[in-house]
Structure 1
Amino acid sequence: MDIVVNEELKAYIDPLTPEEYEALERSILAEGCRDALVLWGDMLVDGHNRYGICRKHNLPFQTVQHTRFQSIEDVHLWMIDQHLGRRSLSDFQRGVLALRKREIVAERRARRAVAPSPAAEGPAAEAPDAAGARPAAAPEPLDTREALAKAARLRSSQVVMIEKIQKQAAPELVAAVKAGTISINAAAAVASLPAEEQAAAAAAGKDELKQAAKRVREAKRKPAAEPAADSAAGVPEAGAVEQDSLDSLRRRVATLSAENAALRDEVASLQARLQACGAQADQAEEMSPPF
């Protein structure tokens, strides 16, 4: 049989690192290809690296047919489940695969809701097709954060951050996360920046990525602190209001007291003038000659 390598399937899961590939090659050269390659018809589904190594060194290998695939979606779901069960994947890789699975399952459920197929309901759903293949069981929906986290063996908060990175991160930042240069938490923060700034930080290396994440977190904290300060300045406390009222009253009393003192001085001055005028009038009358 001629095995067909579908490049889209080959690239569907992140490739091995050079170190991982070399370790697999050493293992196959020493022990042979122990695991059978999985085929769907003549299409290679699982074992692309093993197939390439065996052909390179002219080594024998075995194949096995998977008889329950009915569509390329079934193949994708099976590949995702196989890789989610492997320990070698990073947290980010598991999160990405779980998000892919959620998307496939949601699209499939939406199609069935719009145009339900009678053949997909009841016992007939398990009937084999013309080639004798039985359909794969319908996967559980991943429509909650908890279900998604369970499938990926991650915390719910990690899944949320990975989803943000998937939607907002520049390719350079995604590559840095996959390489382990930056943590998922820090990458989710940096993903808030414009794509150009993300790419520049990733190009500058690990330290700059950390600083970029720190700047984003500090910027998010400042707006929350500034309104509080503004409100405190704009709305005085009850004690401050009372103190301001007392001070104002005291100033008013002092002003009125000063005005009263000035009026009293003016009255006293007028009285002194009147008395002086009266004395002058008496003196003038005494000095006048008699008739």
Structure 2
Amino acid sequence: MQIKINDVLRAYIEPLTEAEYMALERSVLAEGCRDALVLWQDTLVDGHNRYQICQEHGIPFKAVENTSFRDLDDVKLWMIDNNLGRRSISDYQRGVLALRKKEIVRARALELAAEAAAEDAAIAPPDGEAKPKPAAMPLTSREDIARAARLSSATISQIEKIQKTATPELVEAVRSGTISINAAATVASLPEDAQIAAVAGGKKELQKAAKEVRDLRTAGKPPKEAKGAREDGERDYNRNPTEADELRRENAALREKNAALLEEITALQRRISELASSSSQG
């Protein structure tokens, strides 16, 4: 079979870094292509990097066709869910994928609603025959998106802001881990030239830019009495955010993420128990 490459699908998932690609290449050269490539008819869906490595080095591989795909959106949803299930992707990548899923699901919900409205306007069905209704669609709220990505709602909100207002340079910085999601969302409120300059200055300059934005926001708020201020003039860390403050915020976000994971685990365990009970009764 002649495998086809769809450029949209190949670029749909964040590309591997150079180091990640080299590590994958070493693995394939040493152990072969262990996992089968996934196809939609004759178009490659999953395994673009492995396919490229196998082609370059003449390494044999297996390919399987997923016959459940109806259209390109089905393929994209499968790719999103497949990658959300991997532990190796970053929180930023998780958020981006969940937001992409939201857009596809939203478009489908609107399409189903339009179809239902058209059917309602047509000739009524025979008595006793129920009218078709749009299926209930997930990811209707930021909380749903956060749950799908196993992130906090606050983090999803920050990723949305980064996608809307961050320059490509700033996006690459957060994607590579040079700057945190929290700080990147703050820097994304700056003009484009200021964002680009901050990225060019490296991690310290990005942290400085984020701190300056927070300081300006704090200055624009009604003054509050400093908590725990000392008479000896010790710096008030509540009014002057530092890198330590940013780490505290990230720690709080991680705690919220952990709580969401525990909730998901509990729900899965409950479901397993229900299935086991149902199976034993049957």
Q: With the length of structure 1 as denominator, give the TM-score of the two structures.
A: 0.69
1:139: how far off? 8.4
Match of 1:213 in 2: 210
Q: Is the 8 A contact 2:109 2:137 kept in 1?
A: no
What pairs with 1:271-286 in structure 2 (closer than 5 Å)? none
Counterpart residue number, 2:142 = 145
Compare the two structures and name the one with the higher helix fraction.
1
Per-residue deviation, residues 111-132 of structure 1 (Å, max 9, x unmatched): 11112388xxx9xx9xxxxxxx
- Preserved CA contact (<8 Å) 2:99 2:145: yes
Specify which of 177, 180, 184 is matched with residue 187 of structure 1. Answer: 184
Distance in structure 1 (CA, Å) of the matches to 2:88 and 2:137: 24
Match of 2:115? 115
Rounded Cα–Cα distance in structure 2 between residues aligned with 1:175 and 1:54: 28
- Aligned pairs (5 A) from 1:1-291: 1-116=1-116, 140-225=137-222
Shift of 1:159: 0.7
Q: Give the 3-state SS of the residue equivalent to 2:68 in structure 1.
A: coil
Gaps of 5+ in 2: 120-128, 226-282
Q: Deviations over 1:136-182 (max 9, x none)?
A: xx784211122111100111111111111111111111010011110
Partners of 1:197 and 1:19 lie apart in 2 by: 29
* SS of residue matched to 1:64: strand
Residue 30 (structure 1) shift: 1.1
1:177–1:187 Cα contact (<8 Å) kept: yes
Consecutive unaligned residues of structure 1, counting only runs of 5 or more, are: 126-137, 230-291
Letter in 2 for 1:85: G
Look up the match of 2:274: none
The one-letter code matched in structure 2 to 1:100 is: R
Q: Deviations over 1:240-280 (max 9, x none)?
A: xxxxxxxxxxxxxxxxxxxxxxxxxxxxxxxxxxxxxxxxx
> What root-mean-square deviation, in Å, do the aligned CA atoms of Structure 1 and Structure 2 show?
2.1
| SS class of match (2:220) | helix
What one-letter code is carried by the residue in structure 2 that aligns with 1:161?
A: Q
CA contact (8 A) 2:40 2:65 kept: yes
Query: Contact 1:105–1:139 (CA<8 Å) still a contact in 2?
Result: no
Shift of 1:44: 0.4
Count of aligned positions: 212
Q: Contact 2:9–2:45 at 8 Å: present in 1 too?
A: yes
TM-aligned CA deviation for residue 213 of structure 1: 0.3
For the residue of structure 2 that corresponds to 1:224, the secondary structure is coil
Larger Rg: 1
Q: Distance in 2 between matches of 1:140 and 1:64?
A: 29
What is the TM-score normalised by the length of structure 2? 0.72
Alignment partners' CA distance in 2, 1:168 and 1:64: 40
For 1:38, what is the secondary structure of its paired residue?
strand
CA separation in 2, counterparts of 1:58 and 1:140? Answer: 44
Following TM superposition, the consecutive aligned residue runs of length 4 or more in structure 1 with deviations greater than 3 angstroms are none
